[in-house]
Amino acid sequence: MPEEKNSQPKEKEESTTEVLLSEDTLYNAPELFARNARASDFEALYRRAEADPEGFWADFASELPWKKKWKKVLDDSKKPFYSWFAGGKTNLYTAAVERHQATAVKDKAAFIWEGENGDTRTITYGQLHETVNKFSAGLRSLNLNKGDRVAIYMPNIPEVAVAMLACVKMGIVHSVVYAGFSAQAIQKRVEDAEAKVIITTDGSFRRGKTLSLKEVVDQALSAGCPSIQHSIIVQHAKNPVTMKEGRDLWYHELIAQDLPVPDTEVMDSEDPAFILYTSGTTGTPKGVVHSHGGYMVGVYTTLKLVFDLRESDVYWCTADPGWITGHSYIVYGPLMNGVTSLLFEGVPDYPKTDRIWEMVERHHVTILYTAPTLIRMMAKYGEAGVKAHDLSCLRLLGSVGEPINPKAWLWYYEHVGNKRCPIMDTWWQTETGMFMICPLPPVPLKAGSAYKPFPGIIADVVDKTGKSVPPGKGGFLVIKNSWPAQLKTLFRNPQRYLETYFEKIPGVYLTGDMARRDKDGYFWIQGRSDDVLKIAGHRLSNAEIESAIVSHPAVSEAGVIGKPDPVKGEVAKAFVILKSGFAPSPELSQEIRQHIRKTIGPLAVTDEVVFVSKLPKTRSGKIMRRVLRAQELGEDPGDTSTLED
Ligand code: WTA
């Protein structure tokens, strides 16, 4: 959602955030961070990284285990296909879990899991390693080897991390599909990756209901997915499932066998660790590929410095493992840093709206990393829920997924952090793998700004020719150099990698976001410049929803736009032209909404489906969503010279 320059809350609030100060008001970090943070000498960090970015990254890389040291930190001879730590040999699993086995971290909780019904489980680093070893032996018994692909479709339970880690250990490339996606969405992703195995559960819990994930997977497998040889099912919900003889295997039976544990594969730094499909501007998702070496260094370093991780931290990132935030900052980042990470299967406002605060208090969470949509939802519930709990355990807060508006920022700062906790608003993407624009704990913050690029990263705001725009003006957010966790390519589609990110404005990485910088150099992210939606922080594309709608038998054409929403940030609205013989009705509108849900998944909720007789199009027949949006929101449609009618 675009951030207005002087966005002031319109309604009157009860809290002390009643009067918003100007956007230049600085929120200074508590004393402790200025004196005592990992990045307390932040000016020196920025200077060091600017003078010698490769040296800066190499220093942090040296804190992680390498079987063979790299020859070159950054090889840009084939740019924009960059190589990081080329010649180095390592494995992300060794950095995340194996290296802790020889230290005191072994007996510490890697994950504390809590289920929706309040059940808890604690898994130490030692137990995690043991389970991963057993599961990797099970995977080997199915003849899975380095380079093979495995799909994972699971709720937020410890076994999702076990599955990811066992793959990475063996050099198998995992592709996690968010459990809110439909059978068709699974099928698309499994077929593109040619996954041999899919790992799922008998079910999951959400707001008191049991969802049968295996059933969804079964639908995907019966519709296609010829590459799948087996599905592995974790027994979790004790939901009755039908097992297909020869194809379906129980996870608990697979790990109970006494099989030889495969060695951890020695991977080239540049070898792929995982694929994560994300929405682009077309109906076909992009398979973003991340490596072992560069990814591990980027994620480890950013989490350590930005969240100031300490051994005693209990860290809670409320994301789902099915998104990049879950990969980098629930699984790999916290594990590499040896902290305890809280994993929660439920939703933060169920069964009571203060569930999240009750959990922070009970688990003594020290770092909370969440999304603006959740903060706004909690603010809507009011302050009583937060005030009912002792949140003095918190020392640092984080935000991710969409721009955080100043009002939500201040609510988070005052009521959750009690003005003691700095807020790290981290701007990044599936493609960047790691934080890119974000503060460090000791820097002076502005409510709603993601601060400046992380040390070693050069970001700019430019016009469409690539020229920097002056402070105060909006433009395209670009990155001008490479960073360790940069995506390697798009799976089997290097051409799309080049076209999407590097050709529209030559010489830089095009993020797809709009931003402006203020006179102090602070970045204010304004939202996407392309047709990518952010609904409650979930990334979807207009084209994906449109293609789901036109697959309905009554529909001839559809145009989807994002509309600002006070809680979700953005919601989708669809304009639909029906085929002749079909008449508009509220029932049909509802049926189309259900159809979208079935085709993409429950996450693709489309708030409104309206029927129209015409859509604004270019002469070549492309629907001009920009014009639809301008009409809907009463904005200036911009250049309409290509509009046909
Ligand atoms: C948006 C999520 C403003 C942005 C990690 C980006 C943000 C997209 C922020 C990537 C933030 C993420 N402030 N906008 N702190 N963080 N975004 O790939 O539009 O799911 O391009 O990765 O989320 O979404 P993705």
pLDDT tens readout for residues 244-275: 999 999 999 999 999 999 999 999 999 999 99
pLDDT per position as a tens digit, 415-473: 999 999 999 999 999 999 999 999 999 999 999 999 999 999 999 999 999 999 999 99
Q: What is the pLDDT of residue 575?
A: 96
Ligand 1 centre to CA of 247 (Å) is 38
**343 within domain boundaries:** no
- From 3, 328, 402, the mutation candidate for ligand 1 (largest count of ligand atoms within 8 A of CB) is 402
If one counts every other C-beta atom within 10 angstroms of the C-beta of residue 498, the result is: 14
Q: What is the pLDDT of residue 14?
A: 38
3-state secondary structure of 55: helix
**549 within domain boundaries:** yes
Q: What is the pLDDT of residue 645?
A: 61
Q: Which residues of the chain have pLDDT under 50?
A: 1-19
Provide the residue range defining the domain that includes 610.
Answer: 531-633
Nearest to 86 by CA among 508, 482, 507, 481: 482
396-399 and 423-425 beta bridge pairing: parallel
Cβ-based neighbours of 387, under 8 Å, separated by 6 or more = 415
Task: Give dist(CA 328, CA 298) in Å, integer.
Answer: 9
If one counts every other C-beta atom within 10 angstroms of the C-beta of residue 238, the result is: 9
Q: Which residue minimizes the CA distance to atom 20 of ligand 1?
A: 539
**Helix (DSSP H) and strand (DSSP E) numbers for the chain:** 20, 30
Ligand 1 centre to CA of 88 (Å) is 31
Task: Tell me how far CA of residue 563 lies from CA of 124, 578, 608, 630, in angstroms.
Answer: 44, 22, 10, 10
Ligand 1 centre to CA of 368 (Å) is 17
- From 307, 318, 423, 429, the mutation candidate for ligand 1 (largest count of ligand atoms within 8 A of CB) is 429
Q: What are phi and psi of 124, to 5 degrees?
A: -80, 170
Total domain count, the chain: 1
Q: What is the pLDDT of residue 332?
A: 98
Looking at every residue in the chain, the average pLDDT score rounds to 93
Task: Give dist(CA 211, CA 298) in Å, integer.
Answer: 36
Q: Which residue minimizes the CA distance to atom 1 of ligand 1?
A: 402
Q: 545 with 596: CB under 8 angstroms?
A: yes
**572 within domain boundaries:** yes
CATH number reported for the structural domain that contains residue 569 in this entry: 3.30.300.30
Its pTM stands at 0.93
**161 within domain boundaries:** no
Ligand 1 atom at minimal distance to the Cα of residue 539: 20
Q: Which residue minimizes the CA distance to atom 7 of ligand 1?
A: 402
**381 within domain boundaries:** no
My answer on whether omega of the bond before 351 falls inside 30° of 0, hence cis, is: yes
Ligand 1 centre to CA of 189 (Å) is 22
Nearest to 239 by CA among 269, 206, 271, 278: 206
Q: What is the pLDDT of residue 21?
A: 61
Q: What is the pLDDT of residue 122?
A: 98
Q: Which residue minimizes the CA distance to atom 3 of ligand 1?
A: 403
**Strand blocks (E) in 130-280:** 149-153, 173-176, 197-201, 204-206, 209-211, 230-234, 248-250, 267-268, 272-278
Q: Report the half-sphere exposure of 622 (CA within 13 A, side-chain side).
A: 10
Long-range contact set of residues 207-210: C-beta below 8 Å, sequence gap at least 24: 207/116, 207/346, 207/347, 207/350, 208/116, 208/350, 208/351, 210/237, 210/239
One-letter amino acid for residue 421 of the chain: C
**602 within domain boundaries:** yes
Q: What is the pLDDT of residue 644?
A: 66
pLDDT per position as a tens digit, 19-56: 456 788 999 877 788 888 898 899 999 999 999 999 99
Task: Tell me how far CA of residue 81 lies from CA of 100, 276, 492, 505, 640, in angstroms.
Answer: 32, 18, 14, 16, 37
**642 within domain boundaries:** no
Angle subtended at Cα 229 by Cα 225 and Cα 231, rounded to the nearest 5 degrees: 85
**586 within domain boundaries:** yes
